[in-house]
Amino acid sequence: MSKVVLGGGLSGLSAAYYLSKKIPSQNIALIESSNRLGGWIKSNVLSDGVIFEQGPRTIRPHGEAGANTLSVIEDLGLSDKVVPILLSHPAARNRMIYANGKLHTLPSTVGSIFKKQSPFSKPLIRYLLQDLFAPRKNVPDEPIYDFVSRRFGQEFADYLISALVCGISAGNSKEISVKFLMKQMFEYEQKYGSISKGLVQNIFKKREKNGVKRPTVESQTGTMECVFS
């Protein structure tokens, strides 16, 4: 009996790919309603060769999901299409958000989180510390905006998370599920009571796991720009 995958976006293509790997003899039909594959991926090559991505363009190679994505890229022979952006790169260091009618540079060094920097009304460290003391709320899921407001305060959600969610998925942080976009952060709260505690626990776990083989490209990058063409 053949299997049918509905939708030829990243999810459908990935599902078809894993199905074909798991059961090589299986017939797989992929049904796509539009006249192209890729879903949200839309790469426009301009006349001067510059590639303008209308949809997704970055991969965060962290955790199990990140390692998995990198494995698929390697399996498909697409590694040379990935442009690693090191954490020291100006594009990674200089993050800007548009708020209250102007551009603001986000704190990017350890020192800068202790200084008040517009558009925030207090140093970033104060919002981060709030997470340590904010009570855990046992919920099955909630909008990212609500989750972040509870843990870090409303300004953090308004200025940082709304911009981040727009940048990542052109979405509305008041509608997108925290479990979908920030699953690990959500689980840290549910499991350890706060994100900071979860992060510390994770550092210890990683140390224990040292020696586990990971895809090579991950070890040298923080964020990666990936060209889908």
Ligand X SMILES: Cc1cc2nc3c(=O)[nH]c(=O)nc-3n(C[C@H](O)[C@H](O)[C@H](O)COP(=O)(O)OP(=O)(O)OC[C@H]3O[C@@H](n4cnc5c(N)ncnc54)[C@H](O)[C@@H]3O)c2cc1C
Minimum Å gap between C-beta 46 and ligand X is 18
> Could you tell me the two tokens for 16?
């078809």
Estimate to the nearest angstrom the gap between the alpha carbon of 21 and the chain centroid: 26
Q: Nearest CA to 100 among 9, 43, 54, 163?
A: 163
Q: Nearest CA to 129 among 179, 195, 185, 173?
A: 195
Letters for 167-186 (x = contact with ligand X by CB under 6 A, - = none) are -xxx----------------
Q: Which is nearer to ligand X, 8 or 198 (CB)?
A: 8
Q: Which is nearer to ligand X, 52 or 114 (CB)?
A: 52
Q: Which is nearer to ligand X, 12 or 84 (CB)?
A: 12
Pick the binder of ligand X from 1, 2, 25, 33 (CB under 6 A): 33
**Residue span binding ligand X (CB under 6 A) among the ranges 109-117, 136-144, 151-159, 163-171:** 163-171
Size of the site for ligand X (CB under 6 A): 20
Pick the binder of ligand X from 3, 17, 20, 55 (CB under 6 A): 55
Q: Is 32 in the site for ligand X (CB under 6 A)?
A: yes
Q: Is 78 in the site for ligand X (CB under 6 A)?
A: no
Pick the binder of ligand X from 4, 23, 29, 31 (CB under 6 A): 31
Residues contributing to the site for ligand X (CB under 6 A): 6-12, 31-34, 39-40, 55-58, 168-170
